[in-house]
Structure 1
Amino acid sequence: MSLTSHSPTMTTLAPVTAGVSKRNGTLLEHRVLPGGEWDRLVSTFDGVCQEQLFAYASLRWPGVDLEPVLFSEGDKVLGGALVMLQRLPLGVATVALIKWGPFLAQSEGLDRDVVMERMIDTLVAEYASKRSMMVSIMSHAEAGEVNGMAAILAARGFKPGVGVKYPMRYVVDVSLDDTARLAAFSQKWRYNLRKAMKAGLAFETGAPGDIGRFMTLYRAMSERKLFPDYSGIDTLEGLMAMPDGTARPELFFVSQGDKTIAGAAIFTAGTTACYLYGATDDAALDLRAGYLLHWHIIGWLRDNTKARLYDLGGTDGFAGLHQFKSGMVGDAGHISPLPPTMNFASHWPAFAAGTAAYKGREMLTRGRDAVLTARLEMQKRLRRGARA
Structure 2
Amino acid sequence: MSVIAEDSYDQSRAASTVGASGIVLASKQVAGADWDAIIGSFDEVCQEQMHAFASTRWPGVSQEPLIFSRGGTVVGGALVMIQPLPLGLGKMAVVKWAPMLASRKVADADALRVAMTECLVKDYAETRNMMLSVLLHAAPEEINAGYVALRQLGFARGSTLLFPNRYMVKLQLPDADLRKSFSQTWRRQLNKADKAGLEFWRAEPGEIEAFKTLYAAMTERKQFPDHSAYETLNALMALDEPLRPELFFVRQGDETVAGALVFKAGERAVYLYGATNDKALPLRAGYFLHWHVIRWLRDNTRGQWYDLGGTDGFQGLHQFKTGMVGDAGVIRPVPPVLNYATSPWAKLIGTAAFTLRDLYQHTRRHIDGLRSSKAKPDQTPHIWDEYLK
- After TM superposition, the score normalised by the length of structure 2 is 0.91
Q: What does residue range 285-304 of structure 1 map to in structure 2 within 5 Å? A: 285-304=281-300
**Corresponding position of 1:365:** 361
On the 8 A contact 1:40/1:246 being kept in 2, the answer is no
On the 8 A contact 1:127/1:134 being kept in 2, the answer is yes
**In structure 1, distance between residues paired with 2:27 and 2:190:** 48
- SS state at 1:282 partner: coil
**Corresponding position of 1:314:** 310
On the 8 A contact 1:102/1:116 being kept in 2, the answer is yes
- SS state at 1:17 partner: strand
On the 8 A contact 2:19/2:119 being kept in 1, the answer is no
**In structure 1, distance between residues paired with 2:374 and 2:226:** 15
On the 8 A contact 1:33/1:70 being kept in 2, the answer is yes
Question: Residue 181 in 1 paired to residue 178 in 2?
Answer: yes
Question: Residue 60 in 1 paired to residue 80 in 2?
Answer: no
Among 26, 30, 52, the alignment partner of 2:27 is: 30
Deviation at residue 229 of structure 1 after TM alignment: 0.2
- SS state at 1:331 partner: coil
Deviation at residue 16 of structure 1 after TM alignment: 5.9
> Aligned partner of 1:160: which letter?
R
Deviation at residue 144 of structure 1 after TM alignment: 4.1
Among 92, 100, 103, the alignment partner of 2:100 is: 103
**Corresponding position of 2:4:** none
- SS state at 2:316 partner: helix
**In structure 1, distance between residues paired with 2:172 and 2:23:** 36
**In structure 2, distance between residues paired with 1:127 and 1:16:** 16
**Corresponding position of 1:270:** 266
Deviations 1:135-157 (A, max 9, x none): 11101111344211110110100
Question: Residue 47 in 1 paired to residue 44 in 2?
Answer: yes
> Aligned partner of 2:295: which letter?
G
CA shift in 2, pair 1:293/1:334, >3 Å: same
- SS state at 1:56 partner: helix
**In structure 1, distance between residues paired with 2:356 and 2:18:** 35
**In structure 2, distance between residues paired with 1:29 and 1:20:** 4
- SS state at 2:126 partner: helix
- SS state at 1:230 partner: coil
- After TM superposition, the score normalised by the length of structure 1 is 0.92
Question: Residue 345 in 1 paired to residue 341 in 2?
Answer: yes
Deviation at residue 368 of structure 1 after TM alignment: 1.5
- SS state at 1:301 partner: helix
- Percent identical among aligned pairs is 50
Unaligned runs of 5+ in 2: 1-9, 376-389
**Corresponding position of 2:217:** 220
Across the aligned residues of Structure 1 and Structure 2, the Cα RMSD in angstroms comes to 1.4
**Corresponding position of 1:4:** none
CA shift in 2, pair 1:379/1:91, >3 Å: closer
Deviation at residue 22 of structure 1 after TM alignment: 2.3
CA shift in 2, pair 1:192/1:379, >3 Å: closer
Q: What does residue range 66-105 of structure 1 map to in structure 2 within 5 Å? A: 66-105=63-102
Question: Residue 113 in 1 paired to residue 110 in 2?
Answer: yes
How many residue pairs end up in the alignment? 365
Question: Residue 332 in 1 paired to residue 328 in 2?
Answer: yes
**Corresponding position of 1:18:** 14
On the 8 A contact 1:39/1:246 being kept in 2, the answer is no
Deviation at residue 246 of structure 1 after TM alignment: 3.8
**In structure 2, distance between residues paired with 1:298 and 1:246:** 17
**Corresponding position of 1:8:** none
CA shift in 2, pair 1:165/1:379, >3 Å: closer
Question: Residue 211 in 1 paired to residue 208 in 2?
Answer: yes
Stretch deviating more after TM superposition (184-193 or 15-24): 15-24
Deviations 1:6-42 (A, max 9, x none): xxxxxxxx99620012223432101111111111110
**Corresponding position of 1:10:** none
**Corresponding position of 1:7:** none
